[in-house]
């Protein structure tokens, strides 16, 4: 399949008809709703989770789309989730909203807290949303996009379950610790990046394992610290590696500190220790920062926008792609044509209803 978006052309792997199932986006959402309701989660949370999973599938972020029903179901089956708990929202200061997810999943906590975050940021210029005690399973870009839609810049980070070794080490200390940034643009999709500080998300390695593919070099090590390209070994006995060597390692450390102890919440090692093993959704905190551009430069906002656009044009004008361009192209395609999901994944999801 070829997706066209502006000057860009993205190629996607073509699967044979027999190993995929075609679904409209409404069918994706209906499937997510059905499975989540089957697990007895409170309805507001079901709706929030299904929105996030559908968005992941729609944007071809397969490691954080319907696939997440499997990991969330594992956490639910193991009794790790307070499935009927509602988040509590606290105005902690003029700039800071704190939401306690009460050991339920993060999407509802974000939805409830972000409205107040936007209000506070527009009033004081810089706002923070602290989420505690959440089971976090999603990509961060849906959250970033909610803030850029409100005209705000956003910076979001969260730890996960320890499964990533520090540069120079061989035992897992960090989670895959994603960090995401968003910059609103007047006449274009926002500039958004959102990536794990590990070489790749753990979910992606799990998708390699499920499809029997060999990992690229540099993603993982075995239990002795030797380079390893076998997904099951990396996941079960070895460790993942950070991206960019010591630089990714330092960023992962910052995320542990800023979204762990700073918020009075768990590090990735503490999260995995209380959960027993990696695999389900980790339980910890999340830090969401929002910036209202009207307060920062003290200049005319259109001048600043023009300078930002010149920067982005200098990147894309030479044929380099901006992060999220693939996603936006996938989104347009999925809205028009629906999505193909792996038949084996579809079967495993339906089995969750047994």
Q: Give me the active site residues, please.
A: 63-64, 204
Going residue by residue from 4 to 23, which x/- string records binding to ligand NDP, judged by CB under 6 A? Answer: --------------------
29 lies in the site for ligand NDP, by CB under 6 A: no
- 3-state secondary structure at position 179: strand
Under 8 Å between Cβ of 281 and 71: yes
Please report how close the Cβ of residue 222 comes to ligand NDP at its closest, in angstroms: 21
The reply on whether position 58 binds ligand NDP by CB under 6 A is: no
Binding of ligand PYC by 249 (CB under 6 A): no
| Contact flag: residue 75 with ligand NDP (CB under 6 A) | no
By C-beta, is 194 or 256 nearer to ligand NDP?
194
Q: Give the bridge partners for 180, in sequence order.
A: 156, 194
Residues 114-133 that bind ligand PYC (CB under 6 A): none
**DSSP-assigned beta bridge partners for residue 227:** 221
The 171-190 site mask, x for binding ligand PYC (CB under 6 A), equals -----x--------------
Between vectors from CA 30 to CA 58 and to CA 114, what angle results, nearest 5°?
A: 65
What do you get for the CA distance between the two ends of the chain, in Å? 34
With beta carbons less than 8 A apart as the criterion, state whether 115 and 89 touch: no
Shortest distance, CB of residue 179 to ligand NDP, whole angstroms? 8
Smallest gap from residue 282 Cβ to ligand PYC (A)? 6
Short-list 252, 138, 143, 130, CA closest to 198: 252
192, 180 contact by CB (below 8 A) = yes
Which of 5, 29, 104, 158 binds ligand NDP (CB under 6 A)? It is 158
Interface of this chain with ligand PYC, residues 10 to 69, rule: CB under 6 A: 63
- Residue 80 as a binder of ligand PYC (CB under 6 A): the answer is no
Q: What is the CA radius of gyration of the chain?
A: 20
* Region 264-323 residues binding ligand NDP, contact defined as CB under 6 A: 321, 323
Q: Which residue is nearest to ligand NDP (CB)?
A: 139
Take residue 333 and report the two structure tokens written for it. Answer: 């395609």
Q: How far apart are CA 305 and CA 334, in angstroms?
A: 30
Is the distance from CB of 179 to CB of 251 less than 8 angstroms? yes
Compose the 174-213 pattern: x for residues touching ligand NDP by CB under 6 A, - for all others: --x-x-x------------xxxx---xx--x---------
Closest separation in Å from C-beta 303 to ligand NDP: 27
Among 137, 181, 195, 328, binds ligand PYC (CB under 6 A): 137
Angle at 95 between CA 89 and CA 81, to 5 degrees: 30
Q: How many CB atoms lie within 10 A of CB 340?
A: 20
| Residue of 68, 80, 136, 331 interacting with ligand NDP (CB under 6 A) | 136
């Amino acid at each position: 399949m070829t997706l066209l978006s502006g000057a860009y052309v993205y190629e996607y792997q073509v699967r044979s008809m027999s190993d995929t199932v075609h679904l409209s986006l409404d069918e994706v959402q209906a499937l997510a709703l059905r499975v989540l309701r089957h697990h007895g989660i409170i309805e507001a949370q079901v709706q929030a989770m299904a929105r996030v999973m559908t968005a992941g599938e729609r944007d071809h972020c397969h490691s954080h789309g319907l696939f997440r029903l499997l990991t969330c179901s594992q956490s639910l089956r193991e009794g790790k989730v307070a499935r009927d708990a509602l988040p509590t929202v606290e105005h902690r200061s003029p700039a800071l909203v704190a939401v306690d997810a009460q050991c339920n999943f993060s999407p509802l906590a974000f939805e409830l807290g972000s409205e107040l975050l936007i209000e506070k940021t527009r009033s004081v210029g810089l706002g923070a949303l602290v989420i505690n005690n959440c089971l976090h399973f999603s990509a961060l870009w849906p959250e970033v996009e909610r803030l850029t839609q409100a005209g705000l810049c956003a910076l979001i980070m969260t730890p996960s379950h320890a499964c990533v070794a520090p540069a120079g080490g061989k035992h897992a200390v960090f989670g895959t610790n994603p960090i995401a940034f968003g910059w609103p643009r007047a006449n274009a999709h926002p500039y958004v990046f959102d990536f794990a500080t590990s070489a790749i998300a753990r979910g992606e390695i799990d998708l390699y394992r499920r499809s029997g593919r060999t990992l690229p070099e540099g993603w993982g090590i075995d239990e002795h610290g030797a380079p390893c390209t076998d997904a099951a070994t990396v996941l079960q006995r070895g460790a993942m590696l950070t991206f960019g060597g010591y630089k990714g390692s330092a960023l992962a450390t910052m995320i542990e500190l800023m979204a762990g102890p700073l918020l009075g919440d768990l590090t990735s090692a503490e999260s995995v220790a209380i959960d027993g093993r990696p695999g389900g959704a980790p339980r910890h905190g999340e830090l969401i920062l929002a910036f209202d551009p009207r307060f920062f430069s003290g200049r005319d906002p259109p001048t600043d926008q023009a300078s930002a656009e010149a920067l982005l044009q200098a990147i894309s004008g030479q044929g380099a792609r901006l992060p999220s361009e693939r996603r936006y192209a996938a989104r347009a395609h999925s809205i028009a044509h629906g999505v193909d999901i792996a038949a084996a994944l579809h079967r495993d999801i339906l089995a969750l209803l047994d």
